[in-house]
Amino acid sequence: MDFRVVISDPQSGRAYQVEAKDAAANKFLGLNIGDSIDGDVVGVSGYSMVITGGSDREGFPMRRDLPGTRRRKILISGGTGYHSTEKGSRRRKSVHGCNISQDVGQINVKITERGVKPVEELLGIAAPEETPKEE
């Protein structure tokens, strides 16, 4: 069992993808959207993160206000899983519950507390080069 973890950095506006396998993936099981995790789980020691969402293995989004670990068809008028084009319309859509289980494929997290080292250095990614501004 493994999860793809997408780490969003609100300070730089970048996102990084990391694979959480075996022992690291087991630490995610049973957590909910909105729970805080330590960055050591995904190899970013010294950082603190919060789970913001995700999707199951078939691509159905996780919804914060739907408890449980299953996928269900619910009647929704907006928010995660359905964005209406006309006011007042509702649809029955399949969405996944907010609890992380084995059928979740991707977990989205956001950095809340930063560590000493930059994220790129901890993940082994080359830092983006700054483009010089024209004067």
pLDDT at 135 over 80: no
Q: pTM of the entire structure? A: 0.85
Task: Give the chain's domains with CATH numbers.
Answer: 2-66+98-123 (3.10.20)
Token pair 């250095």: residue: 121
10-37 confidence digits (pLDDT tens): 998 999 999 988 888 899 999 999 999 9
Average pLDDT over residues 107-128: 86
Residue 133: CB partners within 8 Å, gap ≥ 6?
none
Within a 10 A sphere around the Cβ of 54, how many other Cβ atoms?
22
Q: What is the pLDDT of residue 72?
A: 93
Write out pLDDT tens, residues 34-84: 999 999 998 888 999 999 999 999 999 999 999 999 999 999 998 888 988
Residue 125 confidence (pLDDT) above 90:
no
Question: What pLDDT, on the 0 to 100 scale, is given for residue 21?
Answer: 86
